[in-house]
Amino acid sequence: MSTLSVRQVRRRFLVLHGLRWLPTGLMVPVMILLMQERGLTLSQIGLVTVAQGLVVLALELPTGGLADALGRRPVLVVAWLVNLGSLTLFAVADSFALFFLVWALQGVFRALDSGPMEAWYVDATLAADPDARYEPGLGHAGTVVGVAMGAGALLGGALVALGPIGPVSALTVPVLFAITLQAAALVALLVLLREVRPARGAGALRASVVEAPRMVGQALGLLRRSRVLLALVCVELFWGFGMVTFESLLPVRLAEVVGDPDRAAALLGPASSAAWLAGAAGAALTPLLLRWLGAAPSAALLRIVQGATIVGMGLLAGPVGVLVAYLACYTVHGASNPLHMGLLHRQVDGPYRTSVLSLNSMMGQPGFAAGAIVLTALADAVSVSVAMLVGAVVLALAAPLYLPAWRARHRAPAAGPVSGARAGSDCVPDAAPVSGTRRGA
């Protein structure tokens, strides 16, 4: 796959991973508040964000199969170009229709971006050394995401605090910086990511498009042959619904507590920075959880604990209480992501890795879309706190879906992952050091 060494592959993966998430971090403090500033209600914001979920639901599997068939690099290049266009449109959007288009483009970006880089890293590492362990790099990626998101959020909050620049509102300034960073990330991707592609040229593209449905079919076949894999991807339905609370409702909750959207955005910058650093620290705790409980029991317990932190965000009075619960939520989030992704990676062989990651990501989209509609409508009709409590309960309901992995490990500890070529076992070797990061917002 690559002439790079294991160390070079890991270094490039981590650099690109950080560059991919830095612009997203810049957007965290301002995305929801900026749409409110430009006239959208919470219910309308919930509806426009559904565009992302619908597009991802339609494209996630085909693009995952395309990445497996054509190559990860060209799919990532297109993805990052689409994100650049989406951010540019977001900077000037001022109507429901334009924001709906922004989120639809975000859906295209998410579908294309979900899985190829991580799959490239794992496969390139194994190509450089079949005996190499890729888990440490996935764990480091979790830390890199936390640092990148934290730095981006801190910068975004600082830019808002500086106030408007000429005709550009304070909430719009971070978006312009995010556009610049995304352009730089695209250049770095073209330079750093190297792979031996399965095919090249127009004819290869046509062949890959034809091949993609077969890759998707093989990936879906894995779900029929493994109850563990099916349960793991179904976790995303509940997780996606619950994530609306701390990705979309938290800024509104904080603005409600402090009484001023601009002040809330300025507070959310350093708070988001601290939250993502807390997430990075949570990811670093993964080896301890694995030694104490194992991957599946730890993942199940963390779903319940994260639900409790969301309850705190919804009920605690004052900005300090809300932000402390927010930090606790992201600490748990950072610890649970590596466990989930590690369990998922152990269930599939290389040729279908991106397709299975896409399956996992795809399952979160209808959950997030349903949460965006239901919870924002509930926040408008009743209160933000009640909406957050409902989201917390739904998120915690994902915990039992980790039981098949735990049971399978005790039933057949020596079995291996499923693949497109053979029927696999339900086993997950969850005593191994597993870590990594998962799609974010």
CA angle (32, 359, 146) in 5-degree steps: 45
Asked if the model's pLDDT at residue 349 lies above 70, the reply is: no
Of the candidates 204, 86, 107, 37, the one whose C-alpha atom is nearest the C-alpha of residue 441 is: 107
| Pairwise CA distance, residues 421 & 432, whole Å | 25
Burial of 162 (0-12, 13-18, 19+ CB in 10 A): exposed
CA dihedral sign of residues 306, 312, 314, 318: negative
| Pairwise CA distance, residues 378 & 386, whole Å | 7
Contact 353, 119 (CB under 8 A): yes
pLDDT digits (tens, 9 = 90+) for 380-429: 889 999 999 999 999 999 999 998 888 876 665 444 444 443 333 333 33
Of the candidates 251, 267, 192, 207, the one whose C-alpha atom is nearest the C-alpha of residue 15 is: 192
Mean pLDDT across the chain: 80
The DSSP 8-state label assigned to residue 249 in this structure reads: I
Give the lowest-confidence range in 86-100, 101-115, 198-212: 198-212
Contact 9, 125 (CB under 8 A): yes
**Percent of the chain surpassing pLDDT 70:** 81
pLDDT at 426: 33
pLDDT digits (tens, 9 = 90+) for 158-192: 898 887 888 889 999 999 999 999 999 999 999 99
Contact 186, 179 (CB under 8 A): no
pLDDT at 220: 67
In the Cβ-directed half-sphere of 274, how many Cα atoms lie within 13 Å? Answer: 12
Asked if the model's pLDDT at residue 267 lies above 90, the reply is: no
Of the candidates 396, 390, 395, 393, the one whose C-alpha atom is nearest the C-alpha of residue 376 is: 390
pLDDT at 138: 74
Backbone φ/ψ region at 163: left (φ over 0), alpha (ψ -120 to 50), beta: left
Of the candidates 357, 287, 440, the one whose C-alpha atom is nearest the C-alpha of residue 120 is: 357
Tokens (6 digits) for 370: 């349903």
pTM above 0.85, yes or no: no
CB atoms within 10 A of CB 44: 17
Spell out the domains of the chain, with CATH numbers in brackets.
Answer: 6-411 (1.20.1250.20)
| DSSP string across 308-363 | HHHHHHHH--HHHHHHHHHHHHHHHHHHHHHHHHHHHHTTB-GGGHHHHHHHHHHH
CA angle (79, 332, 246) in 5-degree steps: 60
Query: Of 263-272, 360-369, 383-392, which one has max mean pLDDT?
Result: 383-392
The average pLDDT across 218-239 equals: 79
Of the candidates 53, 150, 162, 69, the one whose C-alpha atom is nearest the C-alpha of residue 111 is: 53
Asked if the model's pLDDT at residue 337 lies above 70, the reply is: yes
Contact 25, 276 (CB under 8 A): yes
CB atoms within 10 A of CB 48: 21
Max intra-chain CA distance, the chain: 66
Helix, strand, or coil here: 236?
A: helix
| Pairwise CA distance, residues 244 & 248, whole Å | 5
Of the candidates 334, 339, 327, 328, the one whose C-alpha atom is nearest the C-alpha of residue 289 is: 339
* First-to-final CA distance of the chain: 30
Distances from the Cα of 199 to the Cα of 19, 24, 154, 203, angstroms: 27, 31, 42, 9
Q: Which amino acid is at 306?
A: Q
Asked if the model's pLDDT at residue 431 lies above 50, the reply is: no
Alpha helix ranges (H) inside 71-200: 72-92, 96-113, 116-128, 135-161, 173-192
Asked if the model's pLDDT at residue 133 lies above 90, the reply is: no
The residue behind tokens 């005593």 is 431
Non-local (6+) Cβ contacts of 140 within 8 A are 10, 14
